[in-house]
Amino acid sequence: MARPLEFWFEFASTYSYLAAMRVQDACAARGVPLVWRPFLLGPVFAAQGLTDSPFNLFPAKGAYMWRDLERECARLGLPLRRPSRFPRGSLLAARIACAHADAPWIGAFVRATYAANFAEDRDIDTDDVIASLLGNIGQDPAPILALAATPAAKSALRAQTETARARGIFGAPSFIVGNELFWGHDRMSQAIDWAAGA
């Protein structure tokens, strides 16, 4: 009997892009229930004493990451246009994904948002872009944007981010099955195997 896979992701995270575009199909193929867990890396990095993305703080690692991302996207057949701003503000998208993690359109919203950031270089931290993405997936943007601006939506994302840190998450994407943590797109299939009981 397959256990649920928790997919912990940050909309600004490059390797989360690879995982986000693939995780729903990959779980479905194995009969693994998928739980969407958006969070913010900023507070998780801050708790480790990091004031920015490690890819910005450590330029050699950052330069490598962009080249590796190109290779990985080519290998996986995913489009890539390097965002003109990195990391891109992800607060609005994360609040929406957190408030609607169980909605039937969550997967489509997550993929559309990642594609906007990493394949189209659009600023996903604006109401206009998010409204257009929601419209494209058949959702009425107005109530969704209104909900995202409420204190409840804001505190739900803060709480989820704190849960990430408390559960040992230090980067994104991460995957949790029970108490087992897997970090990075490179561990996605291993995490799905774990959930499937293989």
- Per CB under 8 A, residues contacting a second copy are 48-49, 58, 60-61, 63-64, 67-68, 71, 75, 165, 168-171, 181-184, 186-187, 190
Nearest CB to a second copy, comparing residues 89 and 184: 184
Tokens of 5: 């896979």
Please report where in the chains the tokens 């996605």 appear, as a residue: 188
Long-range pairs of 185-194 with CB within 8 A, sequence gap ≥ 24:
185/15, 185/16, 185/18, 185/19, 185/72, 188/19, 188/22, 188/23, 188/26, 189/26, 191/5, 192/5, 192/26, 192/27, 192/30, 192/32, 193/30
- Report in angstroms how near the CB of residue 147 gets to a second copy at its nearest: 32
Q: Rank residues 105 and 183 by Cβ distance to a second copy and give the closer one.
A: 183
Question: Per the residue annotation, which of 13, 16, 90, 174 is the catalytic one?
Answer: 13
Beta-bridge mates of residue 9: 38
Least Å distance, CB 23 to a second copy, is 18
Chain centroid to CA 113 = 9
Residue 175 Cβ, how far from a second copy at the closest point, in Å?
12
Least distance (Å) from a second copy to the CB of residue 184? Answer: 8
Distance of closest approach, residue 85 Cβ to a second copy, in angstroms: 23
Instruction: List, in sequence order, every residue forming a beta bridge with 174; answer none if it has no partner.
Output: 8, 183
Q: Quick one: 49 or 151, whose CB is closer to a second copy?
A: 49
Confirm if 182 and 174 have CB atoms less than 8 A apart: yes
- The enclosing H or E element of 148 equals helix 141-148
**SS3 track for 68-98:** HHHHHHHHHCCCCCCCCCCCCCCHHHHHHHH
Nearer to a second copy by Cβ, of 4 and 184: the residue is 184
Q: What amino acid is encoded at 103 in this protein?
A: A
Closer by beta carbon to a second copy, 61 or else 81: 61
Known catalytic residue: 155? Answer: no
Active site residues: 13
